[in-house]
A and B are shown apart, each in its own frame.
Chain A
């Protein structure tokens, strides 16, 4: 029944967005709210922080709540709240940057391979397989050993092992799309080259790519904090969640908040990313 499944003319984009929000489940609404909070923290983190995260502002290892330090202080007397906010900010932004960069690079390679096929496809996919087989921590150690430890280098190391997934996903989607009648029709209409790829192939692979990427945010955050825990991120005074857990772990029995506060922040971020990924996936799935 083609007539009944016809979509009525869609109005202004804003009314469409609000309609989409309204149709979300309770879990979906909560995840959107959490995502909003997280983004606000990421953007306004430094402004929200009551103290300088790098300076000694009170006695060392004060429990949460003492002297107005909401989360207490760490072993060097720095404000744990300010450090956590800053840590969430760098981790979240780092994850988003790596994700965007790897998804874009992966899409580029994937569209190229999937639409060209033949030898180009084989070569690109074998190269992808090589990168896919590299373990993230070892690549990170190699990169850091070569060019020094910093947050940027850790992100670079992760990006090197992260993009092949997206290249594979996009390549398979594009290869499947290439056989569809609308691509044949476009070819007959004389569309080829870049325009065929950007207008008739890539948009069809985007929903799958976006769902895969959003579901990956959690894993990316965990990898990032793991590298920082191992000391492969920015060196000590920098407020990184992984490094904070590492340095607080010696005091975990007597001053558990040193480990708990950054751990809870990481849990919150991955939970948030996972729920948002499910929501976005559901929304895209419904639209198809």
Chain B
């Protein structure tokens, strides 16, 4: 068996020539931004997405642009492609030159020819591929003939490429669709590929393959890549150089190794809140306090200052200067020497009592299947195939699996939203489980005010209006929401506030069992840590059992006492959370190896073919 490894050292040596603030005499940059500004009209106010960005991408270079939602990273990618929405009162300033074309002032025709020399890969390939056209037809639109199309598919690692040409996008797996997108992106021999969160929607194992593919491609076709992601570890897996964006500005730039010695407090904070397999589980996770500034606000000083633990007085008085950082790049910070780990010395959790009593939840031989189509097209998919699970009162169990493993269906069976074909669900008497959803925004009724939604479960408790209001206020405080949100509607809250609200509704009457359906997977790294801390705190305070579904082993390790790994509708391994690293099961080991930033050698390629 050949073992492949991601060669991190190779990137470092490569990036050495371009690190630091590059002189523009080496070779013409593929992308050059100077003081780039982009703002939109939002509800009558001007929201600044980019507030003066300088960026240079050299030929053959992979630049990782890292930022959380609201940092402006996606807007930069769209601007480079000339795809800023023409409505929304867009205003641009500064300079943006992509492959010799002044994008901000180019005519429609110039942009059309430029876009043919660019490649784009987005998060959701399903929205970029035409669902009514065969893969082959879509590729031939670009290549002109089938042979080149087959070559392209083979070059992105799709087996039986010639057969795949006849398939429609929905017949491919998520990873294969993303490979097809990449094949299309490289079909015009692009000088620059803009990849916006191309692996975010994928399982970790597939993500690792796609990252490796991008690396291979850069070496083979010698194009540059602007790799946009919210995850520093993912960026450090592929990028030669990493730039960190915060609130529309770039705050730090450096070689791939900046993840080891971050110079900006924000970068340090992001790295701290990232979950790894060595994060201590006996205390709350380190977090970045506060929230991102309002995009409509104007600030004189450093935008990060209000949240910075290393803040000094100068921070808020003037824009931070750009200085050389120890990793060889630069950082926009008044006192980068003060940047240390942003981790506050958090007190440890009070240890939980060992789970006692009979059971909180018991599942026996659960079978669930879904039927699609009718008549001859009828297909039955077995989602859960005889699953047993027991959760003790007060115990927290994480269900870990990749998409399609049946983990979410399991949760819905417990919630009573799906009836099992066979098997028993036994809950502690009188207990109705509550659920925290992955997409908190979608789980809230858009037109109902916060107070009313949270208070709904209190109606059957027989409380009158003022008692309900008091209880709602108390619960909002418990999840860290200001009392002022009571009269707002969900759309007026930020993503993090909505997730807190979802939690508040679930615990306003404390359930004996709390179900969590990937509540952090759609959140930014810094926010995910906040929500996980909150779950830990609430669980300790209210003493309930928890069933936490996730695809992220690192998160499972944090929240759970016990980890259950699910694959193809059956439990393949059960572990004590603290002993996760001791697992001997090959599948669990594959999942562990695929976590970005773990720097563990990847599993053999044979494995990837079957996924």
Contacts and interface: CB of A to CB of B under 8 A. Distances in A.
Interface residues of B, number: 46
B417 A188 contact: yes
A200 B445 contact: yes
Interface string B497-522: 00000100100000000000000000
B493 A6 contact: yes
Interface string B450-479: 001000110110000000000000000000
Contacts of A185: 435, 437, 443-445, 502, 505
B336 interface: no
A239 to B, nearest CB: 43
Q: Which of A2, A7, A19, A180 has most B Cβ within 10 Å? A: A2
A251 B448 CA distance: 59
Contact of A191 (B47, B292, B456): B456
A1 B74 contact: yes
A182 to B, nearest CB: 5
B432 interface: yes
Contacts of B69: 1-3
Determine the interface band of chain A, counting residues with CB < 8 A from chain B: 20 to 34
Given A6-B494, A7-B492, A181-B439, A189 B434 contact: yes
Given A8-B45, A184-B417, A184-B443, A2 B70 contact: yes
Contacts, number: 90
Contacts of B460: 190
Interface in B43-78: 43-45, 47, 49, 69-70, 72, 74-75
Nearest to B438: A181
Given A3-B295, A4-B295, A189 B457 contact: yes
Contact of B492 (A9, A180, A183, A204): A9
A191 to B, nearest CB: 6
Given A1-B70, A4-B49, A200 B448 contact: yes
B492 A6 contact: yes
Contacts of B291: 3
A7 B296 CA distance: 11
Nearest to B495: A2
A7 B49 contact: no
B480 interface: no
Contacts of B370: none
Contacts of B172: none
Nearest to A182: B445
A74 B263 CA distance: 90
Given A3-B295, A189-B456, A19 B44 contact: yes
Contacts of A19: 44
Given A3-B69, A3-B70, A7-B43, A186 B494 contact: no
Given A3-B495, A6-B494, 8 more contacts: A1-B74, A182-B443, A185-B435, A187-B417, A188-B415, A195-B459, A199-B448, A204-B446
Interface of A: 1-10, 19, 180-191, 195, 199-200, 203-204
17 contacts: A1-B72, A4-B49, A4-B70, A8-B43, A8-B294, A8-B492, A181-B443, A182-B446, A184-B417, A185-B505, A188-B415, A188-B416, A188-B432, A189-B505, A195-B459, A200-B448, A204-B446
Interface of B: 40, 42-45, 47, 49, 69-70, 72, 74-75, 291-292, 294-296, 415-417, 432-435, 437, 439, 442-448, 452, 456-457, 459-460, 488, 491-495, 502, 505
